[in-house]
């Protein structure tokens, strides 16, 4: 079973999310190598394969938000660690750039280490599940 590096897969999900449709990432089912397809970025180490749209040789990497690793992740953290401030956390995202405001709130409450652990664990669980679903193994 081919393995995919955790940090590379996480970065690919973020790139796809941030690209809002203009960025795509593929994982080669035979090697686990991640190929990035983005007009603004060319990966020298993993160039875009010529046969990327041929059959089942590649699987598309989903956006982080599709895996529940975007805003939903912050809301889940808030539900358990900032339960009394649930409405405030929602308001942070209504005005745009909510991630920075969320990070400041978490830091103000002394929960930054808890947030980092929570995010790391939830990310690993989501990516392991995605890999398992596609016959890949998460490494790292």
For 49-70, write each residue's pLDDT tens digit: 555 565 688 999 999 999 999 8
The three-state secondary structure class of 127 is helix
Same domain, 131 and 101: no
Domain total of the chain: 2
Same domain, 12 and 80: no
Domain residues for the domain of 33 are 3-66+125-139
Alpha carbons 89 and 24: distance in angstroms, whole number = 30
Bridge partner residues of 38 (DSSP): 23, 41
The string over 47-79, giving b where at least 16 C-beta atoms fall within 10 Å of a residue's C-beta and e elsewhere, is eeeeeeeeeeebbebbbbeebebbbebbbebbe
Its pTM stands at: 0.83
Same domain, 28 and 72: no
- On the question of pLDDT at 19 being above 80, the answer is no
Same domain, 114 and 90: yes
Same domain, 34 and 71: no
Same domain, 101 and 115: yes
Helical pair 98-108 and 112-133, crossing angle rounded to 10 deg: 130
- On the question of pLDDT at 27 being above 70, the answer is yes
Task: Please tell me the predicted confidence (pLDDT) of residue 39.
Answer: 58
Same domain, 45 and 113: no
Rounded average pLDDT over 83-107:
86
Same domain, 84 and 115: yes
Alpha carbons 78 and 58: distance in angstroms, whole number = 36
Residue-averaged pLDDT of the chain: 86
Rounded average pLDDT over 11-27:
83
Same domain, 49 and 80: no
* Token duo for residue 12: 């690919």
* CB-CB contact of 67 with 13 (8 Å): yes
């Amino acid at each position: 079973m081919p393995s995919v590096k955790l940090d590379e897969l996480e970065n690919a999900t973020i790139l796809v999310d941030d690209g809002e449709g203009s960025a795509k990432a593929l994982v080669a089912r035979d090697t686990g190598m991640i190929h990035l397809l983005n007009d603004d970025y060319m990966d020298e180490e993993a160039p875009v394969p010529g046969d990327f749209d041929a059959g089942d040789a590649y699987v598309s990497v989903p956006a982080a938000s599709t895996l529940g690793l975007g805003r939903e992740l912050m809301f889940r953290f808030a539900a358990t660690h900032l339960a009394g401030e649930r409405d405030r956390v929602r308001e942070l995202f209504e005005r745009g750039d909510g991630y920075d405001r969320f990070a400041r709130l978490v830091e103000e409450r002394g929960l930054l280490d808890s947030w980092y652990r929570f995010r790391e664990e939830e990310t690993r669980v989501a990516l392991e599940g995605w890999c398992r679903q596609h016959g890949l193994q998460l490494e790292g």
